[in-house]
Amino acid sequence: DIVMTQSPDSLAVSLGERATINCKSSQSVLYSSNNKNYLAWYQQKSGQPPKVLIYWASTRESGVPDRFSGSGSGTDFTLTISSLQAEDVAVYYCQHYYSTPYTFGQGTQLEIK
Amino acid sequence: QVQLVESGGGVVQPGRSLRLSCAASGFTFNTYPMHWVRQAPGKGLEWVAVTSYDGNNKYYADSVKGRFTISRDNSKNTLSLQMNSLRAEDTAVYYCARSGVAGTGVCCYMDVWGKGTTVTVSS
């Protein structure tokens, strides 16, 4: 099974500042046949279901603000929030969908400093 | 609009069974793979199972393999999760989620989620 490890576990950032969350997979999630990374990022606010932000490692879901961006390839990935807003307080998860089981990272709690 | 509504959760004793349902609307259900994902109280997300758009291919997390069965009724736009031999560690909110890509085996990420149904396994 592919293990997803996020860092840090929690993060406090000032409003308007950049937030960066990292995700590392125990093996590559890059599918060579189509050159796509099978990696998604989700945001979960308190008491709500998760919401997909980014898929294929760097494709922003429709309606997601452009301050959210995803990067990386192979085994190392990053979610960046360029200018933190109050409504971005949430837990963020990475997940691979390269092969079953489709495991999630342990989550990163993002708070306002 | 696109919507998923779970039902069937409740309190059940260890060793007993429970069946969850997910009613889909607002999209062509029979073209999308569908997932179940759970979240234990205060914990992270755990992928549970996936079924292909036609129900012919199903995959499970090791933690539920042999105890849980995912199924779908495309004539009724409904996804189900039959949970047998329940354990305390199965206590969680169970989410139904749609794959973000139609007709692609059992891939991919999840782009539509229900609000979840709570299962509590306790004597």
A38 touching B, CB under 8 A?
Answer: yes
Nearest Cα of chain B lies from the Cα of A33 at a distance, in angstroms, of 15
**Following DSSP, what letter does each residue of B12-74 receive, concatenated?**
E-TT--EEEEEEEESS-GGGS-EEEEEE-TT--EEEEEEE-TTSS-EEE-TTTTTTEEEEEET
- Give contacts of A50 with chain B, Cβ < 8 Å: 37, 45, 95, 110, 113
pLDDT tens for B78-123 read: 999 999 999 999 999 999 999 999 987 888 899 999 999 999 999 9
- Give me the residue from A44, A50, A52 closest to B100, CB to CB: A52
**Beta-bridge mates of residue A79:** A21, A70
The reported pLDDT for the residue numbered B26 is: 98
A74-111 pLDDT tens trace:
999 999 999 999 999 999 999 999 999 999 999 999 99
